[in-house]
Amino acid sequence: MKDYLWQNTCPMIRLQSTYFIVSLVLIASMSSFILLAVIFMFQIPSYEFHCLTFSNNFSGETQPMKWAMRLRVALHIAEALEYCTSKERALYHDLNAYRIVFDDDVNPRLSCFGLMKNSRDGRSYSTNLAFTPPEYLRTGRVTPESVMYSFGTLLLDLLSGKHIPPSHALDLIRDRNIQTLTDSCLEGQFSSDEGTELVRLASRCLQYEPRERPNPRSLVTALVTLQKDTEVPSHVLMGIPHGAAALPLSPLGDACLRMDLTAIHEILEKLGYKDDEGAATELSFQMWTGQMQETLNSKKKGDVAFRHKDFRASIECYTQFIDVGTMVSPTAFARRSLSYLMSDMPQEALNDASQAQVISPVWHMAAYLQAAALFALGKENEAQAALREASILENKKSANA
């Protein structure tokens, strides 16, 4: 399995990014915020894994995931777990479909955020108790066997297209009522032998006694033999265009690609603070003090300076507003980011654009500004990835408008 560079992420964690795992690569303190940066990944927009459907932003249609792709997801996650085990990181807390992300080639990868140092790192399972390993309910400890139990629930999701409680699924398996477990959308895509084998693997993972469950290596061995259409790229199986050229760029996207900062400024100025709705911190009556009024005045002065393209002044005023920390505004970070770009300070611009996306994860403007900053830093590949993400987010917003 291909592996890359070890990353020192914080004093307590040392993680590795591999072909199947997406890793935390930066932890930094910014003002009153903690900024976590991960290797660029994305979840299929409007992706509802528990139903195995995803929204194709390029066609606007929602479609079920193909059988071959579901098997690929299972294999890649099993390989990720095998790799973690080989590096003495066998504990993974609350493994479920929402821990899975997709890379630029739409290959499934496992998020590092469930990795644990010891059996008591995890606080609780986000899923319903019906999906929790039975030994966890007794002891509150996560073990390597608990991870296998959770992987079994994931296999059930892949097979059924539903989030079926393991106890109910096992009853259906014992009654040989496998047809009820199978997603009707998969009709004709796999043989009964293939379905039976996946059910057998799931039932082994869901054994009540932890010692009776398989280990990751045996799962990988079994899943490799089930793979179909291995020569077909994942993005083809998912029906998603590959590469930035496949994405029609909006005027904002085109401005970022051309590094036309003046055009970006006009768009950001026209947008105002419309996208701050729901992101800014609500203020209590007690916060309306003289200091609070002074903070708001700093933002207003920053807006005036930004409008008149006095970017040094806008940086100073927005910094005064942001550093107080009583209000959280992604737009203020975005405007300071562009001001930094206009002042030939691309690293500072990237930091602010990233912080804007931390506050408002689906805001396309933040992603576009990251792309512009990365282009300015000469990081072409990362910039193209950010540009694709921004285009996807903008298309999604337009589709929901």
- For residues 249 and 184, state if they share a domain: no
Q: How many helices (H) and strands (E) does the chain have?
A: 16, 9
Whether residue 331 is predicted with pLDDT greater than 70 in this model: the reply is yes
- For residues 320 and 366, state if they share a domain: yes
Tell me what percent of the residues of the chain surpass a pLDDT of 70: 72
- For residues 199 and 298, state if they share a domain: no
Whether residue 220 is predicted with pLDDT greater than 90 in this model: the reply is yes
Domain end position, chosen among 232, 258, 292: 232
When pLDDT is averaged across residues 346-368 and rounded to a whole number, the result is 91
Domain end position, chosen among 232, 265, 294: 232
In a domain, 201, yes or no: yes
Tell me what percent of the residues of the chain surpass a pLDDT of 90: 33
DSSP class of 27: E
Range with lowest mean pLDDT among 42-46, 171-175, 353-357, 391-395: 42-46
In a domain, 383, yes or no: yes
- The mean pLDDT value of the chain amounts to 77
- For residues 61 and 188, state if they share a domain: yes
Whose tokens are 């047809």? That residue is 179
pLDDT bucket at 128, cuts 50 / 70 / 90:
low
Q: What's the domain range around 221?
A: 3-232
Whether residue 14 is predicted with pLDDT greater than 50 in this model: the reply is no
Query: Regarding predicted confidence, which is higher, 145 or 245?
Result: 145
Whether residue 40 is predicted with pLDDT greater than 50 in this model: the reply is no
pLDDT for position 2:
31
Distances from the Cα of 189 to the Cαs of 174, 195, 228, 350, in angstroms? 24, 10, 10, 45
* Span 147-202, pLDDT tens digits: 999 999 999 888 888 878 888 888 877 777 777 788 888 888 988 888 889 999 99
- For residues 221 and 265, state if they share a domain: no
Tokens of 116: 């644990």
- For residues 221 and 338, state if they share a domain: no
Active site residue 94: yes
Range with lowest mean pLDDT among 12-21, 181-190, 361-370: 12-21
CATH number at residue 105: 1.10.510.10
Query: Regarding predicted confidence, which is higher, 44 or 249?
Result: 249
Tokens of 270: 């026209």
CATH number at residue 273: 1.25.40.10
Phi, psi of 115 (to 5 degrees): -65, 140
* Span 235-245, pLDDT tens digits: 888 877 655 44
In a domain, 290, yes or no: yes
CA distance 352 to 358: 10
Domain end position, chosen among 176, 205, 232: 232
In a domain, 113, yes or no: yes
Residue 150 contacts by C-beta under 8 Å, 6 or more apart in sequence? 92, 94, 95, 96, 131, 133
- For residues 163 and 277, state if they share a domain: no
In a domain, 237, yes or no: no
pLDDT for position 285:
44
- For residues 195 and 323, state if they share a domain: no
In a domain, 238, yes or no: no
pLDDT for position 273:
84
Query: Regarding predicted confidence, which is higher, 34 or 116?
Result: 116
Split into its structural domains, the chain has a count of 2
pLDDT for position 281:
46
- For residues 215 and 279, state if they share a domain: no
What single-letter amino acid sits at 121? D
- For residues 198 and 262, state if they share a domain: no
- For residues 187 and 268, state if they share a domain: no
- For residues 256 and 372, state if they share a domain: yes
In a domain, 239, yes or no: no
Active-site entry in 3, 94, 105, 344: 94
In a domain, 35, yes or no: yes
